[in-house]
């Protein structure tokens, strides 16, 4: 955590995080213009923030986009905040909340975490129902070949649709698939009306991509959930749910046990509480 606190101690780096919190996915040029800072200074500060895992980057053609990453702050809150009373932890809680806010200017979610595991073990955790059921509560029926259909099962519901498919599957490196269908059963289960169901059903289908990279003795996992329309209620939901799922995945791989049910504030993606925020 030393790198995180060191990175946050500098006012210019906090301004960069504020800028990304206001509008995620900016290029270096956009960050420089928005903050009236020299390119070299911004590059140095971004390097510190990336080293502390407070900023993630994604390549889009020739551009390098920067995203605020809440994982280190989530880790501080999850591991330390319960050791102190609420008043003493309020500053951390407020920061955690601010960093988890999901700006809609670029309709996508990006999150990076480092896990003490191997690429092979992480791949298994992302694809094997015996693993996904433990930290996610969902399973995926598929052979994990590009173009293959996926059958989702979660909370006693089955989601099956011809457009629910595997988009990319490069074992131990990259996995991508389309998000599940929102059915009348789903809406009824969580108390949503026909208007809500019509709104989310009318959106184009989103996709989630897992990028796996060896990083020294750890594995770097970057999750990119994109393909949303501006103002998507689905994006709001998954932005609140992914941190819990990934924290539970990390805990499972590093300790053998997932996070206890209800140990974090953010519900799973697709759950009613996320949409109701």
Q: What is the CATH number of the domain that holds 48?
A: 1.10.10.10
Which of these three, 100, 122, 145, is where a domain ends? 100
Does pLDDT of 250 surpass 70?
Answer: yes
The fraction of the chain above a pLDDT of 70, given in percent, is 81
Give the chain's mean pLDDT.
Answer: 82
Residues 90 and 113 occupy one common structural domain: no
The confidence band for 77, taking pLDDT boundaries of 50, 70 and 90, is: low
| 8 Å CB contact between 122 and 253 | yes
Residues 84 and 177 occupy one common structural domain: no
In this prediction, residues 76-81 reach a mean pLDDT of 58
The confidence band for 222, taking pLDDT boundaries of 50, 70 and 90, is: very high
In this prediction, residues 143-148 reach a mean pLDDT of 96
Q: For the ranges 93-102, 124-133, 180-189, 230-239, which has the lowest average pLDDT?
A: 93-102
Residues 181 and 263 occupy one common structural domain: yes
In this structure, what token pair is assigned to residue 18? 């504020």
Residues 136 and 40 occupy one common structural domain: no
Does pLDDT of 139 surpass 70?
Answer: yes
Does pLDDT of 234 surpass 50?
Answer: yes
Does pLDDT of 79 surpass 90?
Answer: no
How high is the pLDDT of residue 147?
A: 95
- Sorted by sequence, the CB contacts under 8 Å of residue 100 that are 6+ apart come out as 70, 74, 239, 240, 243, 266
Which of these three, 100, 129, 154, is where a domain ends? 100
Residues 114 and 85 occupy one common structural domain: no
Residues 38 and 75 occupy one common structural domain: yes
Can you tell me the distance from the alpha carbon of 92 to that of 88, in angstroms, rounded to the nearest whole number?
A: 9
Q: Looking at the chain, list the stretches that DSSP marks H as alpha helix, in order from N- to C-terminal side.
A: 2-8, 11-22, 28-35, 39-51, 71-80, 86-100, 119-127, 129-135, 184-189, 194-201, 233-255, 272-276
Can you tell me the distance from the alpha carbon of 129 to that of 137, in angstroms, rounded to the nearest whole number?
A: 9
Residues 95 and 119 occupy one common structural domain: no
224: CATH? 3.30.530.20
How high is the pLDDT of residue 69?
A: 84
| 8 Å CB contact between 118 and 219 | yes
Select the more confidently predicted residue: 231 or 227. 227
How high is the pLDDT of residue 87?
A: 44
The confidence band for 272, taking pLDDT boundaries of 50, 70 and 90, is: very low
Residues 32 and 122 occupy one common structural domain: no
Residues 162 and 211 occupy one common structural domain: yes
Select the more confidently predicted residue: 42 or 76. 42
Question: Which one of 17-21, 64-68, 96-100, 204-208 scores highest in mean pLDDT?
Answer: 204-208
Tell me the pTM.
0.68
In this prediction, residues 113-126 reach a mean pLDDT of 96
Please count the structural domains in the chain.
Answer: 2
Secondary structure letter of residue 81 according to DSSP: G
Q: For the ranges 3-17, 187-201, 253-267, which has the lowest average pLDDT?
A: 253-267
In this prediction, residues 234-247 reach a mean pLDDT of 86
Print the domain residue range for 224: 109-276
Residues 64 and 153 occupy one common structural domain: no
Provide the 10 A C-beta neighbour count for residue 53.
Answer: 20
Which of these three, 74, 100, 126, is where a domain ends? 100
Is residue 153 helix, strand or coil?
A: strand
The residue among 89, 86, 275 whose CA lies nearest residue 190 is 275
Does pLDDT of 49 surpass 50?
Answer: yes
pLDDT tens digits, one per residue of 160-209 = 999 999 999 999 999 999 999 899 998 888 788 888 888 888 889 999 99
Residues 224 and 242 occupy one common structural domain: yes
How high is the pLDDT of residue 75?
A: 67
Does pLDDT of 73 surpass 80?
Answer: no
Residues 238 and 134 occupy one common structural domain: yes
Does pLDDT of 271 surpass 50?
Answer: no
Can you tell me the distance from the alpha carbon of 17 to that of 82, in angstroms, rounded to the nearest whole number?
A: 25
């Amino acid at each position: 955590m030393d790198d995180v606190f060191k990175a946050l101690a500098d006012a210019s780096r906090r301004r960069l995080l504020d800028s990304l919190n206001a509008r995620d996915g900016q290029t270096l040029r956009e960050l420089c213009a928005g903050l009236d800072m020299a390119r070299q200074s911004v590059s140095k500060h971004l390097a510190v923030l990336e080293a502390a895992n407070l900023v993630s980057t994604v390549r889009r053609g020739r551009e390098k986009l920067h995203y605020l990453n809440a994982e280190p702050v989530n880790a501080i809150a999850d591991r330390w905040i319960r050791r102190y009373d609420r008043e003493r932890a309020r500053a951390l809680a407020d920061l955690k909340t601010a960093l988890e806010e999901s700006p809609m200017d670029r309709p996508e979610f990006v999150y990076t975490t480092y896990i003490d595991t191997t690429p092979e073990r992480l791949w298994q955790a992302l694809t094997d129902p015996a693993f996904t059921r433990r930290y996610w509560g969902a399973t995926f029926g598929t052979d994990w070949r590009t173009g293959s259909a996926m059958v989702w099962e979660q909370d006693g519901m089955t989601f099956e649709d011809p457009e629910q498919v595997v988009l990319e599957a490069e074992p131990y490196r990259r996995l991508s698939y389309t998000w599940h269908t929102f059915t009348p059963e789903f809406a009824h289960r969580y108390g949503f009306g026909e208007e809500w169901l019509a709104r989310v059903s009318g959106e184009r289908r989103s996709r989630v991509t897992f990028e796996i990279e060896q990083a020294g003795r750890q594995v770097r996992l970057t999750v990119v959930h994109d393909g949303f329309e501006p103002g998507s209620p689905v994006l709001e939901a998954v932005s609140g749910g992914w941190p819990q799922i990934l924290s539970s995945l990390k805990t499972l791989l590093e300790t053998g046990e997932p996070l206890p049910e209800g140990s974090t504030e953010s519900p799973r993606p697709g759950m009613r509480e996320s949409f109701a925020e």
